[in-house]
Amino acid sequence: MTERAFFFIILFMATIYFTRHGETFTNTKKLVCGAREVELTEKGHEQALELGKELKSKIEGGEIKIDRIFYSPLSRAKLTALHISEITGIPAEEEPLLIERNFGSFEDKSRESEEFKAALRTFAMSYGRESGGESNMRTAQRIYNLLDKLTEQSKRTDETYLLVAHNGLARVVNSYFYDMTNEEFGAFGITNCQLLRYEF
C-alpha cells in the first residue's frame, strides 16, 4: 500500500455510535416489546442522563466526537436521545427507519422462552405478518440502507453520529459491521444505555 493510499483510507474512516434506550417496564419483566409504545422507568431516565454526562465528559476531554444524534420515533428512544442532547448540546433528530421491529405474535410474551430465542435465529419468518410482524431480513434491509446512507453522508461532512434505538436493532447494526452466525445473531444483545462504537 502506498503512502498516498494509506492517507486516503484514513481520510474516509468514519465512526458511528449506537446505544439502546433506557430501561422500560417491559424490560424489567423480560417481555418482548417491539414497535409499540412503552414508557421509560425512573431508572431508565436516570440511565439516559448518566450516559449524557459520560458523553459530555468524553467530548470535552477530546476522547470522542459526536456531531449529530438520530433516534427512533418511539418515545423510549426519543426521550433517551433528548436527555443526551440536552446535556451534551448535540443536535438530535428523529429517524423513522430506527423504529424497533414488530415482533408480531411474540409481542408481550416472554423474551426468555425457547420459542422466541429460536425465532430470533430465523431470517425470513415475520412472526405473523397479519399482526404486523417484520422479518429479520426486512429489518436488516432498512437498517443497512440507513447505514449505507450515513456512510456516504459522513464521507461528505466528516460527521460522527450517535444512533439511539432498540435491542432488536443492535444485533442488526452489529451484523452490518461484523460477520455473525445465525446463533450469534440471535443471542446478541446490549444492556440499556450501553454504548457501542463502530468504524465505517
Strand-pair partners of 114:
none
- State the Cα–Cα distance between residues 79 and 63, nearest whole angstrom: 25
- Say if residues 51 and 19 touch (Cβ distance below 8 Å): yes
Catalytic residue status for 45:
no
In the set 23, 83, 95, 100, the catalytic residue is 100
Catalytic residue status for 86:
no
**Angle formed at CA 35 by CA 33 and CA 41, multiple of 5 degrees:** 50
In the set 21, 23, 107, 134, the catalytic residue is 21
Identify which of 11, 16, 32 has the alpha carbon closest to the alpha carbon of residue 168: 32
- 80-85's contacts with Cβ under 8 Å and 24+ in sequence apart are 80/19, 80/21, 80/22, 80/40, 80/44, 80/47, 80/48, 80/51, 80/164, 80/193, 81/164, 83/22, 83/45, 83/48, 83/49, 83/51, 83/52, 84/48, 84/51, 84/52, 84/55, 84/162, 84/164, 85/52
What amino acid positions are annotated as catalytic residues? 21, 100
